[in-house]
Amino acid sequence: MGGWGSILKLIAQRIALGVLLLLAVSVLIFMGTEILPGDVASSILGQAATPQALENLRRELGLDQPAIVRYFSWLGGVLTGDLGVALSNRRDIASAIAPRLANTLFLAFWAAAVSVPLAILLGLIAVRYRNGVVDKTISGLALASTSLPEFFIGYVLIFIFAVTLNWFPSFSTVYEGMPFWQRMQAIALPAAALTLVVLAHMMRMTRAAILNVMQSAYIETAELKGLSQFDIIRRHALPNAIAPVVNVVMLNLAFLVVGVVVVEVIFVYPGMGQYLVDHVSKRDVPVVQAVGLIFAAVYIGLNLIADIAAIIANPRLRHPR
C-alpha cells in the first residue's frame, strides 16, 4: 500500500506542476501578444480612421483598461469556456475553433495510428539485427528522415503522389458530412508527411531504450535458458523499456497535434494550424491567444500523461523494499 501511496503522491505533484506550468504559459502568451508591434484598433479600422473612432473602438474592445485587468478577464473567460470573439469577423472563437480542432485531432490520430506501431516494430527489428545490414539500413533511413524538414517532405510528397502520379489531391479539403474514405484520401499526404517526421525519432529512441535494457543481467539469464533473441526482446526487454518508450511516444504525439502548423499550411488543411496562421496575418489577437493556449494545454497534458505512465510503470515505486 505504501508503494501506491507514494505513486499517488507523485501523480498529484505532477498534476499540480502541470496546472502551474499552464498558468505560466497563459501569462507568456498574453504578454507576447501584448508586446506585438502595431495597434489592433488601427489594423481593424485602417489608416484612414479618425482618432475618435480609434478611441471608441479601443474602449469597445477593452484596450483602454490596464493589461493585468485584461489578463484576468481573459483568463476568467477561458476557465468558463468563453474564448472571446474574433476581431476580424466578430465570430465566437470557441464555436469557430471546435470543427478545426476536430480536424487537427483527426489528422494527428491517423498519423499516430500508423507511426507509433511502425516505429516500435522497426525499433524491435533494428535491435534484433543490431549492427547488421538491416539495422544500419533502418537507422540510416531514420537519420535521413530526421534531417529533412516537414515542409520539404510535404512538397516532395505533393510532387510525387499528387502531381506526377495523381493518386491523391494536393489540397486536403475536408468538410462536415464528408464520406469517411474520401476524408481518408484527402488526409493521406499530410498524414504521411507527419508520419515520416515523427517515425524516425520514435524508432531510434525505441531502439536505444531496448538496447539499454539488453545490457541487464536478467537478459543474460534468459539467453542461458535458450530463449530465442526475438522472444528475449519481446518478453523481457520491451516490457522493461516501456517507460522511456511511452515518454518518447507521448512527446511525438504532442508534436503531431502542436507541430501540424507547417503541414496544414502546405496542404491547405482546415485545422488549427491553418486557422492560427490566417489570423496571425490579420493580427487577430484573441484568436492567437486562444489557439496558443489550446496548443499549450495539449502539449502539457500529453507530457503529463507520459510522466504518469512512467511513474506507474516503474517497478521500484510499485514494489518498494
Considering only residues 52 and 268, tell me which one the structure prediction assigns the higher pLDDT.
268
177 φ/ψ sector (left φ>0, alpha ψ -120 to 50, else beta)? left
User: Band of the pLDDT at 285, cuts 50, 70, 90?
Assistant: confident
Backbone angles phi, psi at 92, to 5 degrees: -65, 125
pLDDT digits (tens, 9 = 90+) for 242-255: 767 777 777 778 77
pLDDT at residue 144, as a whole number: 78
The answer to whether residue 258 scores a pLDDT higher than 60 is yes
pLDDT number for residue 6? 74
The torsion angles phi and psi of 171, rounded to 5 degrees, stand at -105, 125
Give 37 or 89, the one with higher predicted confidence. Answer: 89
pLDDT band at 316 (very low <50, low <70, confident <90, very high): low
Mean pLDDT on 263-272: 86
- Please count the other Cβ atoms lying within 10 Å of the Cβ belonging to residue 193: 24
Q: Given this model, what pLDDT does residue 226 score?
A: 67
Proportion of the chain above pLDDT 90, given as a percent: 0
Q: pLDDT at position 41, please?
A: 66
Answer yes or no: is pLDDT of 272 > 80: yes
- Kindly give, in sequence order, each residue whose CB lies less than 8 Å from that of residue 187, ignoring residues fewer than 6 positions away: 106, 107, 110, 172, 174, 269
pLDDT for position 207: 81
- Tell me the per-residue pLDDT of 214-238, one tens digit each, with 9 for 90 and over: 776 666 676 667 667 677 776 666 6
Does residue 47 register a pLDDT over 70? no
Rounded mean pLDDT, 169-184: 83
Residue 191 pLDDT greater than 80, yes or no: yes
Tell me the DSSP string of 150-170: HHHHHHHHIIIIIIIS--S-S
Average pLDDT, the chain: 79
pLDDT score of 253: 80
The residue with greater pLDDT, 317 or 181, is: 181
Amino acid, res. 107: L
pLDDT given at position 134 = 82
Q: How far is CA 3 from CA 9, 178, 244, 306, 320, in A?
A: 10, 50, 21, 19, 6
Average pLDDT on 306-321 reads 66
Burial zone of 66 (CB within 10 Å; 0-12 exposed, 13-18 middle, 19+ buried): exposed
86 torsion bin: left (phi>0), alpha (psi -120 to 50), beta (else): beta
Mean pLDDT, residues 2-18: 78
Does the pLDDT value for residue 24 go beyond 60? Answer: yes
Is pLDDT of 82 > 60? yes
What is the pLDDT averaged over residues 287-306? 85
How far apart, in whole angstroms, are the C-alpha atoms of residue 143 and residue 138? 9
pLDDT recorded at residue 20: 92
Among all chains, which residue has been given the C-alpha cell 510535404?
Answer: 154
pLDDT interval class at 140 (50, 70, 90): confident
As its CATH architecture, domain 92-311 has Orthogonal Bundle (1.10)
This prediction has a pTM of 0.78
Query: Which of 310, 301, 288, 187 is CA-nearest to residue 253?
Result: 301
pLDDT, residue 137, reads 86
Helices 272-281 and 285-313: crossing angle in degrees, nearest 10, is 150
